[in-house]
Amino acid sequence: MKPGNIENIIRSLIEKDGPITFEKFMALVLYCPGLGYYMTDDIRIGSDGDYYTSPHLHPIFGWMIAVQLDEMKRILTGIDEFTILEIGAGRGYFAENIIDYLEHKLQWTGNWKYVIVEKNPSAIQHQSKLLNRYQGRVSWKTAIDEVDRFCGCVIANELIDAFPVHRITMMGRFREIYVDVSANGLVELAGDFSDPALCSYLAQYKMPEIKGYSSEVNLRIRDHLKSLDNVLSEGFELTIDYGYPAWEYYSAQRKYGTLFCYYRHTRNTNPYAHLGNQDITAHVNFTALKDWGQAAGLQTIGYCPQGTFLASLGIDKVIAAELESNPSFQTELLRIKGLLFDIGQTHKVMIQYKGQKDIKSLNGFELSNRKNRL
């Protein structure tokens, strides 16, 4: 990809139709076919990329998610087939680790399948090579609406933080940030709200009326949950991401919002640099995820930090078993520590349920459940 190609597309669009919302800008730099950050064949995750995710720290992350899936499968008794739907599978390591543990440790057989929703053709090629030995078990779709209705669990691991967001700023009144062009490149300007839903959102999740305060609004979470409602007959939505409840997200102390960019393992706050070659993310408002999920028929079962979730599932017992069978496993403990204490604290886990069963909690929330603080 030639540097500047994506900028030329953005400039042409603005020159033709006028300034675009930041959400539109973010959608283009991340998802423009062939040019957006998530739509090329470049390596984005891991030591050669721009950032790490939990599956890249250690396979045990996928193993523990498999343990939680096992409980879910037992709860959904009487269904013909249990489906795991992962949206945005990266390099495929997470899926590989989950399937390995389900088959070899938890002895899953029979009617179950793993479906990956992936937009990027290059990513599908990487994933299919890695998961080739699971032919007949794993399949791919390019959009959620292509998935047949199913019972099971939807996995969204570090997915929602990459949804394009509206940016809001306080300038006498709340206004939306747009992107325009100038002789010196792309510039920001403030304008009226582009979507009436922003007014409703601000009325419900109040931002501090402090001059210069700015933050993000992720309306695409609502659409995401609606699309899941169309394909999930009964089952669970498992969300793992960094974020806060609304009262913490829109605190007076967080006056510049949560938008960050990642380029070659460095973090910055300039979304107009390295266009198409850096990640742009915003934290998740887990209160909105709960509220919009409830409107879509999803009951929130639990919410807690990732580290606590893994501890509740018995990660200590899995580590002990590995050490007993393989003493050299000791050398891997430092990476596992990151899953519990670094990413383990910044990332949160929420599980929602659609169906008629009376589910009070799940094993992953045995040690802590903060849903009452949402």
Distance CA 284, CA 219 (A): 11
Confidence of residue 105 (pLDDT cuts 50, 70, 90): very high
Contacts of 84 (CB under 8 A, 6+ apart): 69, 98, 112, 113, 114, 115, 152, 153, 155
CATH number for the domain spanning 224: value is 3.40.50.12710
In a domain, 210, yes or no: no
Look at residue 49 in the predicted model and tell me its pLDDT.
52
In a domain, 133, yes or no: yes
In a domain, 184, yes or no: no
Distance CA 364, CA 374 (A): 18
DSSP 3-state of 314: coil
Q: What letter does residue 6 receive in the DSSP assignment?
A: H
In a domain, 270, yes or no: yes
Inform me whether the pLDDT recorded for 46 exceeds 70: no
Contact criterion met (CB below 8 Å) for 265 and 332: no
In a domain, 23, yes or no: no
User: Which single residue is written with the structure tokens 């394909």?
Assistant: 231
Mean pLDDT for 288-317 is 97
Confidence of residue 44 (pLDDT cuts 50, 70, 90): low
In a domain, 279, yes or no: yes
**pLDDT tens across 79-92, in order?**
999 999 999 999 99
In a domain, 202, yes or no: no
Look at residue 41 in the predicted model and tell me its pLDDT.
82
**pLDDT tens across 115-151, in order?**
999 999 999 999 999 999 999 999 999 999 999 999 9
Look at residue 54 in the predicted model and tell me its pLDDT.
85
**pLDDT tens across 270-301, in order?**
999 999 999 999 999 999 999 999 999 999 99
Containing structural domain, residue 138: 54-163+219-355
Q: How many domains does the chain have?
A: 1
Q: How many of the other CB atoms lie within 10 Å of CB of 71?
A: 14
Largest CA distance in the chain: 66
pTM attached to this predicted model: 0.94
DSSP string for residues in 297-319:
T-EEEEEEEHHHHHHHTTHHHHH
In a domain, 116, yes or no: yes
Distance CA 282, CA 290 (A): 17
